[in-house]
């Protein structure tokens, strides 16, 4: 049995690779980077990294048809690759690929924020109110503070915050067929993640985390979080995913709405999340059970340890420390027994250092870093 891990240039893929190596799984590794970057990645990971042609996965995975005695397990790291994998499985009909993925229409539904909003409204799931561009123009004023999001995409890329009608008019040239307009909840820092593994509409594993620090402080990426079992979010997220007949992993993002005094669903990510290392460190066994479900094996019972933390210490937590002029209590207290560290835990110092250098000198990542810092 071998794991298929793609997009090895991605930061979260580095943690997943290290976890799987820690569990002593054999890995076939891929990246769509340039040939020079592939060589650098091979030095970082200490094994061969094959070129991933996302336009032709049949060519990239051609070895499988010649090696029918080996079971290959696909793990969803990036959405665009997984979309291509759906097509590959349908077209190739190769029998020795194993995976746990939701029905294609459910996957497409949560990816498209407009479709997902409509699905939630139809089924009475709590979400931020949605508005139409023309209706706001006719109104001549903002109904509330707004947020404009691309229908497809993750993270903060392309998101626009609207606090005045004049600012709203500044975006009149935007193609609103590619965006969704929603109310902007006034509690952007209290985002909570709920992380699930499902098998044909049935819950297998769950854990959550509550943010302690983010960068930037309001609505930024998580740099320090604590594992938490929030039964309300577990119940609400499970009901949502059951209705989609979900299989595989999913991150459901919630935000507490202070006006209504209740949680609202912000989005669902149908692939690996940035803090996925905490799933194993807290003993939720999401990664192990994903493999077992894919192979049709019995899953492992999970007893989640809520006294577990995750930190993204470099670069974001360090930048927070510098910008706060050292005003972060117990910043240098490194509790290795109860805290896992993104890009460090489960890795070696050599691989971690080399991967950080690779990210620092990557033009696209430098550009992203400077944009967030300045």
Predicted confidence (pLDDT) per residue in 63-120, tens digit: 776 788 899 999 999 999 999 999 999 988 888 999 999 999 999 999 999 999 999 9
CA distances for 364 relative to 12, 14, 161, 252, 323, angstroms: 16, 17, 24, 27, 23
Q: Which residues of 57-67 are buried (b: 16+ CB within 10 A; e: fewer)?
A: beebbeebeee
Give the architecture (CATH level 2) of 2-99: 3-Layer(aba) Sandwich (3.40)
CA 249 to chain centre: 10
Contact 196, 279 (CB under 8 A): no
Mean pLDDT of the chain: 91
pTM for the model: 0.92
Amino acid 157: pLDDT: 72
Q: Which residues of 151-169 are buried (b: 16+ CB within 10 A; e: fewer)?
A: beebeeeeebebeeeeebe
Amino acid 286: pLDDT: 97
Residue-range domain boundaries for the chain: 2-99, 129-183, 191-343
Between 123 and 366, the higher pLDDT residue: 123
Amino acid 316: pLDDT: 87
Q: Is the peptide bond before 157 cis (omega within 30 degrees of 0)?
A: no
Q: How deeply is 205 buried, as exposed, middle or buried, from its count of CB atoms within 10 A (0-12, 13-18, 19+)?
A: buried
Amino acid 371: pLDDT: 59
User: Which one, of 22, 15, 9, 13, lies nearest residue 310 by Cα?
Assistant: 15
CA distance 269 to 366: 25
Q: Per-residue pLDDT for 240 more than 70?
A: yes
User: Which one, of 274, 278, 279, lies nearest residue 290 by Cα?
Assistant: 279
CA distance 78 to 16: 12
Task: Please enumerate in sequence order all residues whose Cβ is within 8 A of that of 208, keeping only pairs 6 or more positions apart, or say none.
Answer: 192, 193, 194, 195, 227, 228, 229, 230, 233, 234
Beta strands in the chain (DSSP E): 2-5, 26-31, 49-51, 72-74, 97-98, 130-131, 146-150, 160-162, 179-183, 191-199, 202-215, 221-228, 248-257, 262-269, 309-311, 339-341
pLDDT tens column, 259-273: 888 999 999 999 999
Other C-beta atoms closer than 10 Å to the C-beta of 286 total 21
Contact 312, 342 (CB under 8 A): yes
Give the model's confidence band at 366: pLDDT under 50 very low, under 70 low, under 90 confident, else very high. Answer: low
Which stretch of DSSP H or E encloses residue 259? none
> Which ranges in 170-230 belong to alpha helices (H)?
none
For domain 191-343, the CATH superfamily is ATP-grasp fold, B domain (3.30.470.20)
**Secondary structure tally for the chain: helices H, strands E:** 15, 16
Angle value at C-alpha 354, between 348 and 356, nearest 5 degrees:
100
CA distance 160 to 176: 12
Contact 20, 288 (CB under 8 A): no
Query: Above pLDDT 90, what percent of the chain?
Result: 76
Give the model's confidence band at 367: pLDDT under 50 very low, under 70 low, under 90 confident, else very high. Answer: low
- DSSP secondary structure of 91-102: HH--TTEE----
β-strand pairing of 248-257 with 221-228: unpaired
Average pLDDT on 352-357 reads 92
pLDDT tens column, 14-33: 999 999 999 999 999 999 99
Average pLDDT on 353-357 reads 92
User: Which one, of 131, 101, 106, lies nearest residue 116 by Cα?
Assistant: 106
Give the model's confidence band at 315: pLDDT under 50 very low, under 70 low, under 90 confident, else very high. Answer: confident
pLDDT tens column, 152-204: 976 667 889 999 999 999 999 999 999 999 999 877 667 899 999 999 999 99
Contact 164, 142 (CB under 8 A): yes
pLDDT tens column, 47-67: 999 999 999 998 889 877 678
Residues pairing with 27 in the sheet: 3
CA distance 187 to 177: 27
Average pLDDT on 222-243 reads 96
Which CATH number applies to 129-183? 3.30.1490
User: Which one, of 89, 26, 18, 85, lies nearest residue 53 by Cα?
Assistant: 85
Please give the structure tokens belonging to residue 364. 């696209």
Amino acid 370: pLDDT: 55
3-state helix, strand, coil in the chain (%, to 5): 35, 25, 40
CA distances for 319 relative to 15, 156, 226, 233, 273, angstroms: 21, 18, 20, 31, 22
Amino acid 219: pLDDT: 64
CA distance 357 to 217: 25
């Amino acid at each position: 049995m071998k794991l298929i891990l793609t997009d090895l240039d991605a930061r979260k893929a580095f943690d997943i690779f290290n976890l799987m190596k820690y569990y002593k799984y054999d890995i076939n590794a891929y990246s769509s980077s340039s040939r020079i970057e592939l060589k650098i990645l091979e030095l970082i990971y200490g094994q061969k990294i094959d070129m991933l042609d996302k336009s032709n996965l049949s060519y990239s995975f051609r070895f499988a048809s010649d090696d029918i005695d080996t079971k290959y397990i696909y793990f969803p790291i990036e959405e665009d690759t997984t979309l291509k994998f759906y097509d590959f499985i349908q077209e190739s009909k190769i029998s020795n690929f194993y995976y746990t993925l939701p029905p294609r229409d459910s996957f497409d539904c949560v990816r498209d924020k407009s479709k997902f909003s409509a699905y939630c409204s139809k089924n009475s799931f709590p979400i931020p109110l949605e508005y139409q561009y023309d209706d706001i123009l006719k109104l001549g004023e903002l109904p509330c503070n707004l947020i404009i999001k691309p229908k497809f995409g993750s993270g903060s890329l392309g998101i626009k915050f609207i606090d005045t009608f004049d600012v709203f008019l500044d975006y009149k040239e935007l193609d609103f067929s590619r965006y969704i307009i929603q109310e902007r909840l006034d509690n952007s820092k209290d985002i909570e993640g709920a992380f699930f593994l499902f098998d044909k509409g049935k819950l297998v594993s769950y854990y959550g985390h509550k943010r302690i620090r983010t960068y930037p402080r309001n609505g930024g990426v998580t740099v320090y979080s604590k594992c938490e079992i929030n039964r309300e979010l577990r119940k609400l997220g499970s009901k949502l995913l059951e209705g989609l007949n979900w299989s595989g992993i999913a991150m459901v993002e919630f935000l507490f709405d202070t006006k209504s005094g209740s949680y609202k669903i912000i989005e669902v990510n149908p692939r690996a999340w940035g803090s996925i290392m905490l799933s194993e460190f807290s003993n939720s066994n999401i990664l192990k059970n994903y493999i077992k479900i894919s192979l049709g094996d019995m899953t492992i019972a999970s007893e989640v340890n809520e006294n577990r933390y995750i930190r993204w210490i470099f670069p974001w937590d360090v930048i927070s420390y510098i910008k706060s002029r050292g005003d972060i209590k117990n910043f240098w207290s490194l509790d290795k027994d109860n805290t896992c560290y993104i890009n460090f835990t489960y890795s070696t110092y050599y691989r971690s250092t080399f991967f950080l250098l690779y990210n620092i000198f990557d033009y696209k990542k430098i550009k992203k870093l400077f944009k967030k810092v300045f």
